[in-house]
Chains A and B, each alone.
Chain A
Amino acid sequence: MGMHNKIDDAIDNISKKIIAYNEHRKLFQDLFRKVKKSLNPSEFPSAFGIKTKDSFFTVKVPKTNIDGLKVAGVDGGVIHRTLNYFDIALIRAVGVLFLHQKDDKPQVRYFPEEQPFPDILTSIEPLSQNEIDTLISIWRMQKEIRCGISLLEEDMPDIIILDGSVLPFIDYKQVNQSEFLMSQYRNLKTLYRRLYSLCEKNRTALCGVVKDSRSAILTNKLAALLPHLGKMPEFEQLLKIDYRPIVKQLRDTDLLYQVLDVDERTFEFFLSNFNDDTDQELKDFDIHCFYLKTAEFDAPLRVEFPLLFSNQHDLAQKISALVIAVSRYNPEYGLPSVIIEADARARLQETDADILVDEISAKIGYSSFSLQRRRSRLPFKAGD
Chain B
Amino acid sequence: MARKSIGTIIVGEDNSPNPSEFNFVLTKSEEEFQLEKGMYVIVPCDDGEIIATVSDVYKTNRYFSSPSAVRAYETSGKTLASIFPADRWEHIIAKAKPLGIITDLGIQRLLFPVSPGETVFIPESKVLQKFLGLEKTNGINLGKIEQHDVEVQLNLTRFLQKHAAILAISGAGKSYTVSVMLEELLSRPKKQGRIAMVLFDVHGEYKGLGDEESPFYKHIEIFPAAAIQFGTHALRARQFAIFEPQITSVQTRELSKILNKLFEEKTKKNETYTISDIVKELEADEHINQRSKEALIGWLYTLEETRLFGASEYPVLEKILEPGKLVIFDLSEFTSLKLKQMIVSYILYRIFDYRKKGKIPPTAIIMEESHQFCPEARLELAISRPIIETIAREGRKFFTSLVLISQRPVKMSTTALSQCNTHIIMKVLNPYDLDFIGRSSEGIDRATLNTITGLGVGEAVIVGNAVNHPIFVKVRKRKTTTMDTQTLEESAINFDT
Contacts and interface: CB of A to CB of B under 8 A. Distances in A.
A and B are interacting partners: yes
Interface of A: 98, 104-106, 108, 114, 328-333, 337, 340-341, 344
Interface centre among A328, A329, A340, A344 (most CB of B within 10 A): A329
Contacts of B268: none
Contacts of A108: 85, 88
A328 B88 CA distance: 22
Given A106-B83, A330-B73, 13 more contacts: A98-B85, A106-B82, A106-B84, A328-B76, A329-B73, A329-B78, A329-B83, A330-B72, A330-B75, A330-B76, A332-B68, A332-B72, A341-B84
Contact of B82 (A105, A114, A332): A105
B76 A329 contact: yes
Contacts, number: 39
Nearest to B82: A105
B81 interface: yes
A7 B49 CA distance: 63
A333 B84 contact: no
Given A330-B76, A332-B72, A104 B82 contact: yes
Nearest to A351: B11
5 contacts: A104-B82, A114-B88, A329-B83, A331-B75, A333-B69
Contacts of A344: 62, 89
A256 B212 CA distance: 92
Nearest to A332: B72
A309 B84 CA distance: 30
B72 A331 contact: yes
Interface in B64-80: 68-69, 72-73, 75-76, 78
Given A108-B88, A344-B62, A333 B72 contact: yes
Contacts of B86: 105
A340 B86 CA distance: 11
B72 A105 contact: no
Interface in B83-121: 83-89
B289 to A, nearest CB: 93
Nearest to A98: B85
A104 B79 CA distance: 10
A333 to B, nearest CB: 7
Interface in B435-477: none
Nearest to A114: B88
Interface string B405-428: 000000000000000000000000
Given A330-B69, A332-B72, A337 B83 contact: yes
A329 B82 CA distance: 11
A106 B83 CA distance: 7
A338 to B, nearest CB: 9
A-B pairs with lowest CB-CB distance, top 8: A329-B76, A108-B85, A330-B72, A330-B73, A105-B82, A329-B73, A332-B72, A329-B83
B72 A337 contact: no
A106 B85 contact: yes
A114 B83 CA distance: 17
A368 B84 CA distance: 40
A340 B69 contact: no
Nearest to A326: B83
Contacts of B73: 329-330
A344 B89 CA distance: 10
A344 B64 CA distance: 13
Contact of A341 (B72, B78, B82, B85): B85
Interface centre among A108, A328, A330, A337 (most CB of B within 10 A): A330
